[in-house]
Amino acid sequence: THNDITLIATTKGNVNCALLLHFLHGFIKVTKSYFEGEINESSVRQNFSLIYELLDEVMDCLRLLLLAR
């Protein structure tokens, strides 16, 4: 939970939970840099499409990194 916003990650298989927590923490940092400060309910509502696009791009990058191993 970050500023009364709960982030949830689901998986289809058994994955490293530390990797998921690291991903969520990093996504908060990226999102905060885009919003120039704090993330709260109103900023999420106002920028939902931007958050969705950021998540899509970050997940694509993560997939490429994991496949390269």
**Which band of pLDDT confidence, cut at 50, 70 and 90, is reported for residue 67?**
low
Whole-prediction pTM: 0.74
Extract the tokens encoding 14. 């058994």
Which long-range CB contacts under 8 A does 57-65 form with residues at least 24 apart? 58/23, 58/26, 58/27, 58/30, 62/23
pLDDT, tens digit, 9 for 90 and up, residues 43-66: 889 889 999 998 888 888 776 666
Report pLDDT digits (tens) over 8-49.
Answer: 888 888 888 888 888 888 888 888 888 887 888 888 898 899
Which phi and psi (to 5°) does residue 5 adopt?
-115, 125
If you ran DSSP here, which 8-state letter would residue 5 be given?
B
Q: Are 30 and 2 in contact (CB under 8 A)?
A: no
With contact defined as beta carbons under 8 Å apart, do 38 and 3 qualify? yes
